[in-house]
Structure 1
């Protein structure tokens, strides 16, 4: 085996010219095309295994399987890496490959996590286990609950905020009379093809906090709610994993009806609540998949803290980074930068204003001197002319 060993090399390197880079079976090189330290270590260990049939000595501190079983892992991982087209080149892709190989061998979950931990690789979000639960009937601090219409994916703003609608058809008596009248008038305007009037009436309806979502090809009157997930803080869209957090939330709730337990309203007018969707507690999913922080400033629930801690330990999602930036610190920094820009602009305007005043005073003084000079010349001419 030593003469045919294939060495996976680090990103930017060229394949070694003095070692064979192909196998008769696949004719494909075993590659390593990322600078991640964990992948580099795995690549070197695979090269070492192909040369010596030896697995890393320290691996047994992380897994319970025998050396013989570990050797089978490395052999299968080496072959799978060769056969991958394209080969894995991100920590998540390498994790998925290892999980797939070890699952084929019915490997114990502890050993799966141990191998990933040994190479400092993240646990794939796709393998996160969620508990199935229903919304509690009673909860401390609960103000009211909402049962929403199917959520429009476009109404999901980020990883912890969205707009939902609750049908008002069953409780029209609670709808303000002016909105009911606007609905009737709008339907009449549309029937008469008076779309300008219909649009104006729609704007009136929306300004009152209602909307007309389309359900089963029919517009229905519904009340609009802006929702903030209680107890978590997802990365902002401009931050790493911000888009992933939003995409995951869309995946969970997009096109589905929700049960939302409302506990509070924040300074932006959003209703703060716990969200349940088809037996899934949404905050649990976001925390376990490493796509949100436990927002301890406003929430002290121990289960949320545990879900975040478990995701950290498995390096899932944003925890793949050793020091991910906290969203609230990022927002504070952005606010300070914005304030600095405003301060600079206001300073520039102040300086410009002072300069304009100085120029005005200077030219005014010059004008006065000119007028006095002209008057003196005129008097002298008039006296001695």
Structure 2
């Protein structure tokens, strides 16, 4: 029964082998599962396991906020929705839509956490959750990045964040140096052989070149390009200023565990990419300004909406505006440079 159900879940009930000419080098299993569809396969197998045991996967609780009892209810709904889909989902986007449809009455954070758990895309899925379509590319933006899920440690302060983009991304793949691809492959072999000294040396080569091997929630490794992003148009309090810690914590809350869409306008003098960040359809700079955790950096960005959001926070005495006369971070930095 189990094998037939798995064929139904993954392959629309077909037990036929892949057609002649199928690229076996891309297959990860007998059903023609590829790296791109690994999350779909993992979800299908977990649904099969749930059908037999009524157990949800271990580790899911790290990504969601609801109880184990609620998770069991999700998987019942997911299994029902998956069976109704004909043909069954084959791509990550199709699987995301099934998850969203099955769990549309549940908390947004739980739906997103489940998608992250399986490595399924939050976009366009995230837009379907919130009802907000992906934002258009802003005027003046040079290119767009779609990141891997963000780690809390990647947030430097309230206006700077390190993000990683999958090296297989169409924009990144052609420019990954050959020696970095070789180093990543050699590192994986060294780790498999428990030669951690060699693996660490190769990891340093990868890191020094601006790349990183990122671990997924199920232990899979992804070669990724690092970008340091300076949020355009805002200036958060420095770490040692009042509300500096709170600004960083707010940015962590907004982006932790999420895939981000970043529109990059250029670089600043420190080599950081200056960009607008969107998270699940929401404009991160807007959130930081309205909640009173950043100033409008008008010297470098004259967009009127940024000024309006800062004014709104000032009038509400939100965040740093609870202070009677908060010091501007650019003036604070200037004073330190001058030795004051």
- The equivalent position to 2:336 in structure 1, one of 328, 334, 351, is 334
Counterparts of 1:161 and 1:134, CA distance in 2: 25
Equivalent residues of 1:132, 1:280 under 8 A apart: no
Partner SS for 2:310: helix
Change over 3 Å in CA distance of 1:238–1:133 after alignment to 2: farther
Question: 1:168 maps to which residue?
Answer: 167
- Which has the larger displacement, 138-147 or 267-276? 138-147
Question: 1:66 maps to which residue?
Answer: none
Change over 3 Å in CA distance of 1:321–1:170 after alignment to 2: closer
Partner SS for 1:187: helix
Counterparts of 2:248 and 2:311, CA distance in 1: 21
Matches within 5 A, 1:108-147: 133-147=132-146
- Displacement of 1:169 in angstroms is 2.8
Matches within 5 A, 1:79-158: 133-158=132-157
Measured on the aligned residues, the alpha-carbon RMSD in Å equals: 1.6
Question: 1:240 maps to which residue?
Answer: 242
Equivalent residues of 2:235, 2:295 under 8 A apart: yes
Partner SS for 2:141: coil
Query: How many equivalent residue pairs?
Result: 208
Counterparts of 2:145 and 2:137, CA distance in 1: 14
- Displacement of 1:144 in angstroms is 0.4
Greater share of helix: 1
Question: 1:198 maps to which residue?
Answer: 199
| TM value normalised by structure 1 | 0.52
Partner SS for 1:246: helix
- The answer to whether 1:292 aligns with 2:291 is no
Counterparts of 2:277 and 2:160, CA distance in 1: 11
Equivalent residues of 1:265, 1:271 under 8 A apart: yes
- Displacement of 1:206 in angstroms is 0.7
| TM value normalised by structure 2 | 0.59
Partner SS for 1:212: strand
Question: 2:28 maps to which residue?
Answer: none
Counterparts of 1:138 and 1:314, CA distance in 2: 31
Q: What CA deviation, in whole Å up to 9, does each residue of 1:336-383 have, x standing for no partner?
A: 22xx8xxxxxxxxxxxxxxxxxxxxxxxxxxxxxxxxxxxxxxxxxxx
- The answer to whether 1:213 aligns with 2:242 is no
Counterparts of 1:269 and 1:199, CA distance in 2: 26
Equivalent residues of 1:133, 1:281 under 8 A apart: no
Change over 3 Å in CA distance of 1:170–1:135 after alignment to 2: closer
Partner SS for 1:260: strand
Counterparts of 1:135 and 1:273, CA distance in 2: 16
- Displacement of 1:234 in angstroms is 0.3
Structure 1 gaps of 5+ residues are: 1-130, 341-385
- Displacement of 1:313 in angstroms is 1.1
Partner SS for 2:157: coil
Q: What CA deviation, in whole Å up to 9, does each residue of 1:289-330 have, x standing for no partner?
A: 111000001000000000101111111111111210000011
Counterparts of 1:170 and 1:138, CA distance in 2: 18
Q: What CA deviation, in whole Å up to 9, does each residue of 1:146-200 have, x standing for no partner?
A: 0000000111011001100001134444311111111121122222222111111
Counterparts of 1:191 and 1:321, CA distance in 2: 55
Partner SS for 1:213: strand
Counterparts of 1:283 and 1:187, CA distance in 2: 38
Matches within 5 A, 1:253-332: 253-332=255-334
Counterparts of 1:335 and 1:237, CA distance in 2: 16
- Displacement of 1:133 in angstroms is 4.9
Q: What CA deviation, in whole Å up to 9, does each residue of 1:240-286 have, x standing for no partner?
A: 01011111111110010100100121011100101110121100100
Structure 2 gaps of 5+ residues are: 1-129
- Displacement of 1:135 in angstroms is 4.6
Partner SS for 1:325: coil
- Displacement of 1:232 in angstroms is 0.1
Q: What CA deviation, in whole Å up to 9, does each residue of 1:187-245 have, x standing for no partner?
A: 22222222111111110011111001111221210000000100000000100010111
Question: 1:177 maps to which residue?
Answer: 178
Partner SS for 1:169: coil
Equivalent residues of 2:137, 2:263 under 8 A apart: no
Partner SS for 1:220: strand
Greater radius of gyration (CA): 1
Equivalent residues of 2:184, 2:213 under 8 A apart: no
